Chains A and B, each alone.
Chain A
Amino acid sequence: MKTGAKILVESLLREGTEIIFGYPGGVVLPIYDELYDSPLRHILVRHEQAAAHAADGYARASGRVGVCLATSGPGACNLVTGIATSYMDSTPLVAITGQVPTSLLGNDAFQESDITGITLPVTKHNYLLKSAGDVGRVVQEAFYIAGTGRPGPVLIDIPKDVSTGMAEDVKLPDKVTLRGYNPTYKGHKRQIEKALEMIGHAERPLIYAGGGIITSNASPELMEFATLSSIPVTTTLMGIGCIPCHHPLNLGMLGMHGTEYANFAVTECDLMIAIGARFDDRVTGRIETFAPHAKIIHIDIDPAEIGKNKRIDVPIVGDVKAVLKDVLTLMKKQGAHEVWLKKIKHWKQHHPLKCPTTGGLHPQFVIRTLSELVKDKAVIVSEVGQNQMWTAQHFCFHNPRSWITSGGLGTMGFGFPAGIGVHFARPDVPTFVIAGDGSIQMNIQEMGTVAANKIPVKIAILNNMYLGMVRQWQELFFDRRYSFTELPAVDFVKIGNAYGIEGMRIETPEEVLPAFQASLDCDGPFVMDFRIEREENVFPMVPAGAAINEMIGGHPR
């Protein structure tokens, strides 16, 4: 006989978990007692939200299931933003929460919250355990559900008496079977043939590549397909890294802050091949004018994404990697599309992203300097807002999973704690967190975590003393009425120092490269406070509700 807590820790190890991020509390004491002398590594965060983001960051960078742990009530509630972030970006996460004893469930007991109820709409599935005998099976199921099909977060709520209760070891099956859960991996052959026929006839085809390619580890197949068929590729925010930035077929990001040439290509293409992407409103702009001349092929593992926002001509439900493999097998002729590619080349030459050089310190220059310094030897994690868009636009990403960002939910406060998880997934390369002065302050307490554990995350704060993206909208659409978007100056270097973290303030372009170099020379975490041009905007930009070729801040056409 073993306690539920012991079975839990053993089950996590059985699933191959090497690290969990958590925060102890009353009802998880039995679990923490098991962790005390377990080989399972535990990182104590300073706020439960950070535990969820760190586990998520670990999952995104490694492709493996991330695990976080919190106590009942406030602990569990603090995970919710992190769980919702994971849900929106389809990342594999298992969140474990303590719960009051089963005898007190529903009694408004101390630190009780109905966390399975609260997380119902933001989890792929969740469990409220009732007996220690269920722990092993449920952990196995949770990892299976989180990591397969379209991945997502799964929460396991464990009442205290389940942790302390005794149960026999249960023999678990080698493979989980759930009668209500059977994801489709293989694409329908006839549909693939139909798609290939369409591709064969297209004159101006375009691949619209989303985060599903990263999730499915399908970059090599995508590259082969794009190269053989000479089809240019535009990526979503989440798809960045699936094709190297400098690849001649890469058009960069599309959508609200996409490149002009990507958005022109979308508007003029006659065939769009959407792969692991979901036609999000930040991508499409006004949906009626998105790819108005194109037939659309949509490859996605989730049938609910097909036709959700846009009418699809050829849907292919299946795992992106498996489908692309079949596409490559069945593909007979290779494409050329010289006229189309020439046109795109012309757009690329005449509508490059702008990188201002005059005046003070420009964030675009900061990002480009970092990019040139670290090349493909780093993982970049962003916060949300202008810092995120500048990085997406100006950093040259070479590899999948080297760009970690909160896309769907757009969670400020995600980046820094996610960076902690990223470091443990990729200790071989430096992890850089690109933040704004607004977003870094949403989880700045994690400086305590990185300092205490000597986690060498390099934090680059693009400090403009504003909530920059909101200020940009106020400037452009609200007559410069900066309602509650100005932040007083904060000395982030001093804050870092208080935690025992080294740092540097950067005020001129000349100081940028030495600062990044110093951060790499430092063994531990490092804070860089970049005092950038205060009213720098992210351009080009598609105003809300406009068509995506109606950009402002671009080049004259």
Chain B
Amino acid sequence: MKPHTLSILVENKAGVLSRVTGLFSRRGFNIESLAVGPCEEPGMSRITIVVIGDDAKVEQIMKQLNKLIDIIKVSDLTENERVERELALIKVTAEQGTSRAEIMQIATIFRASIVDVSPKSLVLQVIGETDKIDALEKLLRQYGVKEFVRTGTIGILRGSKLASGGK
């Protein structure tokens, strides 16, 4: 059982996301993370899904995904060298004159930026792999994380290789 990052190129049409997620829920798979957005091809979208499962089960899901008419290409990025990123927004309690300086120091170490400041709180924006974001959130917990919002993972292959199959 290991995480698999699946990159799925789909027609940008109503209902496609539920066709995709339905194949996971039917097999009792929990989707760890999900990101959807338009991509380089007009009329298409790319869905990135992270699931934890054994290789054979994930392979079966990929084959089933490939059978959906609105799906153009499915690839498992986990097989290759890749860059993966998430973005998180974290609202932390930070009263003036207390821990504010410490929080800002931590933000610097994580190369997070402060995107909102108010008398009682700060909002940090951080970009990185899942582990990095988990680590930052854990560190900030002692100050009081009021809200923690993160995107799904997105990924891209290193080098000139493409997830959509071309070169």
Q: Does B159 have its Cβ within 8 Å of any Cβ on chain A?
A: no
Known contacts A180-B11, A180-B72; A304/B18 CB under 8 A: no
List B residues 13-65 near A (Cβ within 8 Å).
Answer: 14-15, 18-19, 22, 26, 56, 59-60, 63-64
Q: Does A14 have its Cβ within 8 Å of any Cβ on chain B?
A: no
Contact with B along A121-158 (1 / 0, CB 8 A): 10011001000000000000000010000000000000
Q: Does B117 have its Cβ within 8 Å of any Cβ on chain A?
A: no
Chain B nearest CB, measured from A130 CB (Å): 9
Q: A116–B15 contact, CB under 8 A?
A: yes
Q: How far is the CA of A308 from the CA of B56 in the complex (A)?
A: 8
Residue of B nearest to A178 (CB): B69
Q: B64–A304 contact, CB under 8 A?
A: yes
Chain A nearest CB, measured from B12 CB (Å): 12
Q: How far is the CA of A145 from the CA of B69 in the complex (A)?
A: 9
Q: A180–B70 contact, CB under 8 A?
A: yes
Q: Does A117 have its Cβ within 8 Å of any Cβ on chain B?
A: yes
Chain A nearest CB, measured from B97 CB (Å): 52
Q: Does B115 have its Cβ within 8 Å of any Cβ on chain A?
A: no
List A residues 301-350 near B (Cβ within 8 Å).
Answer: 302-304, 307-308
Give every chain A residue within 8 A of B26 (Cβ-Cβ): 121
Known contacts A120-B22, A180-B11; A125/B69 CB under 8 A: yes
List B residues 111-128 near A (Cβ within 8 Å).
Answer: none
List A residues 156-189 near B (Cβ within 8 Å).
Answer: 178-181
Our pick among B19, B66, B71 for the contact of A120 (Cβ within 8 Å) is B19
Residue of B nearest to A302 (CB): B67
Q: B69–A304 contact, CB under 8 A?
A: no
Contact with B along A177-206 (1 / 0, CB 8 A): 011110000000000000000000000000
Chain B nearest CB, measured from A118 CB (Å): 11
Q: A180–B71 contact, CB under 8 A?
A: yes
Give every chain A residue within 8 A of B11 (Cβ-Cβ): 179-180
Q: A304–B15 contact, CB under 8 A?
A: no
Q: A179–B18 contact, CB under 8 A?
A: no
Q: Does B106 have its Cβ within 8 Å of any Cβ on chain A?
A: no
Q: A117–B18 contact, CB under 8 A?
A: yes
Known contacts A303-B63, A304-B63, A304-B64; A124/B69 CB under 8 A: yes
Q: A180–B68 contact, CB under 8 A?
A: yes
Residue of B nearest to A149 (CB): B67
Give every chain A residue within 8 A of B10 (Cβ-Cβ): 180
Q: B72–A179 contact, CB under 8 A?
A: yes
Chain B nearest CB, measured from A119 CB (Å): 11
Chain A nearest CB, measured from B152 CB (Å): 22
Chain A residues touching B, range: 10 to 19
Our pick among A128, A179, A302, A304 for the contact of B14 (Cβ within 8 Å) is A128
Q: How far is the CA of A303 from the CA of B66 in the complex (A)?
A: 9
Q: How far is the CA of A302 from the CA of B67 in the complex (A)?
A: 8
Q: How far is the CA of A308 from the CA of B19 in the complex (A)?
A: 20
Q: B68–A308 contact, CB under 8 A?
A: no
Q: B60–A120 contact, CB under 8 A?
A: no
Q: A121–B22 contact, CB under 8 A?
A: yes
Chain B nearest CB, measured from A143 CB (Å): 13
Our pick among A117, A180, A302 for the contact of B69 (Cβ within 8 Å) is A180
Q: How far is the CA of A461 from the CA of B69 in the complex (A)?
A: 41
Give every chain A residue within 8 A of B66 (Cβ-Cβ): 303-304
Give every chain A residue within 8 A of B63 (Cβ-Cβ): 303-304
Give every chain B residue within 8 A of A302 (Cβ-Cβ): 67
Give every chain B residue within 8 A of A125 (Cβ-Cβ): 68-70
Give every chain B residue within 8 A of A117 (Cβ-Cβ): 18
Q: How far is the CA of A180 from the CA of B73 in the complex (A)?
A: 8
Give every chain A residue within 8 A of B22 (Cβ-Cβ): 120-121
Query: Which of A116, A178, A304, A308 neighbours the largest number of chain B CB atoms within 10 Å of its CB?
Result: A304
Q: How far is the CA of A124 from the CA of B22 in the complex (A)?
A: 13
Residue of A nearest to B72 (CB): A180
Residue of B nearest to A180 (CB): B72
Q: How far is the CA of A128 from the CA of B22 in the complex (A)?
A: 18
Q: B18–A120 contact, CB under 8 A?
A: yes
Residue of A nearest to B61 (CB): A304
Chain B nearest CB, measured from A432 CB (Å): 35
Give every chain B residue within 8 A of A304 (Cβ-Cβ): 60, 63-64, 66-67
Give every chain B residue within 8 A of A181 (Cβ-Cβ): 69
Give every chain B residue within 8 A of A307 (Cβ-Cβ): 56, 59
Q: How far is the CA of A128 from the CA of B13 in the complex (A)?
A: 11
Q: How far is the CA of A145 from the CA of B70 in the complex (A)?
A: 12
Residue of B nearest to A150 (CB): B67
Give every chain B residue within 8 A of A179 (Cβ-Cβ): 11, 72
Q: Beyond A125-B70, A178-B69: 9 further Cβ-contacts under 8 Å? A: A120-B15, A124-B67, A125-B68, A180-B69, A180-B72, A303-B66, A304-B60, A304-B66, A307-B56
Closest 4 CB pairs of A and B: A304-B63, A125-B69, A180-B72, A181-B69
Chain B residues within CB distance 8 Å of chain A: 10-11, 14-15, 18-19, 22, 26, 56, 59-60, 63-64, 66-72
27 interchain pairs (CB within 8 A)?
A116-B15, A117-B18, A120-B15, A120-B18, A120-B22, A121-B22, A121-B26, A124-B67, A125-B68, A125-B70, A128-B14, A128-B15, A178-B69, A179-B11, A179-B72, A180-B69, A180-B70, A180-B71, A180-B72, A302-B67, A303-B63, A303-B66, A304-B60, A304-B63, A304-B66, A304-B67, A308-B60
